[in-house]
Every structure is written in C-alpha cells, then in structure tokens.
Amino acid sequence: MEISKSEDLGVEVSKLTTVSTYVSSWHGSQGSITLKDTNAETGVRHELQIKFPLDVLRQLSMELVTTLEDYDAEQAEKAAEKAKESVE
C-alpha cells in the first residue's frame, strides 16, 4: 500500500487585493503571480506568491479568459431574460 500526503490551501481575498505578475528567464523560464491584501478589520497584511512553469502559466491564463467570458455571457443572458419577463 502506498501512502501519500495531500494539502489544500484556500485563500480568499478582497476587492482591494493587488495583483502583480512577473516572468523571468533567469530562473528557468518561470512566471509568478503575487497577491497582496490587507484585512480591513485587523490591518494584517497577507502576501501570496505562486511560481509556475511558463506552460502552466499560459494554460492558466487561457482558462481564466475562457471562464470569465463564459460567466459574462451567462450573466448577460440572465439579464436579457429578466428584462424580457418584466416587459411581459
């Protein structure tokens, strides 16, 4: 039997979060995404930096764009249906 360890990390950020990206050819052609947020209630500052191989970063970018486009289209469709129902 093989035993393995897994970990989940959940991060929730506010609308005030700053996002920065960086791509480096100095470190094996990898990119990073950094999220910085400060809790409005406690003043505690959090920073999360994730480093990716460029291929993974490219895939993530494409999937984000597709997901957001699908979401926007769905919301526009719901708004159009709601507007149509209110006219009837």
Query: Where are the domains positioned within the chain?
Result: 18-87
Strand partners, 36: 18, 47
pLDDT in tens, 22-48: 988 777 789 999 999 988 888 889 899
Q: What is the pTM of this model?
A: 0.70
Q: Quick one: tokens of 35?
A: 């999220």
32 contacts 8 by C-beta, under 8 angstroms = no
What residues have CB less than 8 Å from 20, skipping those under 6 apart?
A: 33, 34, 36
Token digits of residue 25: 């050819």
- pLDDT (mean) for 67-73: 97
Q: Which residues contact 51 (CB under 8 A, 6 or more apart)?
A: 30, 31, 32
**Per-chain mean pLDDT for the chain:** 89
Q: What is the DSSP letter of 42?
A: T
Q: Residue 31 is encoded by which pair of tokens?
A: 């990119």
